Amino acid sequence: MPQDVAGLQAVVLQALEDLKAVDVAALDVSQLTSLTSVMVVASGTSSRHVRALAEAARDAAKAAGYPVLGMEGDTTFEWVLVDLVDLVLHVMLPQTRALYRLEDLWSARPRRPTAEQAGDSP
């Protein structure tokens, strides 16, 4: 049974906003993969904040009646993934987010690297 993806996204974004998530981005990845429709990426200010954001989003989705497939993350809470079927949430520390650059990886229009990033700097 298909989910109300817009409703799920609204619930997750509200939970993140309530706990002051940083730099929240919602990406429509429905044309790029059949695994999920929306990917939300957010940052927390500390490991404790990352954990709280992920748990709040998971709990809000569950309370609203959306299925939760699972929550994965390392014990340091640098990066936590919450699988909500048609929406996957990634909550990361800023330095982890900068390293993996998920927004660029899952963007429908990949950004071209600058000369400096490509190693072509003089």
Q: For 54-71, how does the pLDDT look when each residue is reduced to its tens digit (9 = 90+)?
A: 999 999 999 999 999 999
Length of the chain: 122
Q: For 63-120, how does the pLDDT look when each residue is reduced to its tens digit (9 = 90+)?
A: 999 999 999 986 889 999 999 999 999 999 999 999 998 888 777 555 555 555 555 5
- Residue-level pLDDT at 30: 84
User: For residues 95 and 118, what is the distance between their CA atoms, to the nearest angstrom?
Assistant: 20
Provide the CB-side half-sphere exposure for 51 (13 A, CA): 7
User: What are the phi and psi torsion angles at 113 (to 5°)?
Assistant: -65, 145
User: For residues 53 and 48, what is the distance between their CA atoms, to the nearest angstrom?
Assistant: 9
Greater confidence (21 vs 115) lies with 21
- Residue-level pLDDT at 114: 55
Tell me the whole-structure pTM to 2 decimals.
Answer: 0.82
User: For residues 39 and 27, what is the distance between their CA atoms, to the nearest angstrom?
Assistant: 5
- Residue-level pLDDT at 25: 94
Mean pLDDT computed over 17-23: 97
**Residue 1 pLDDT exceeds 50:** no
CB 60 within 8 A of CB 12: yes
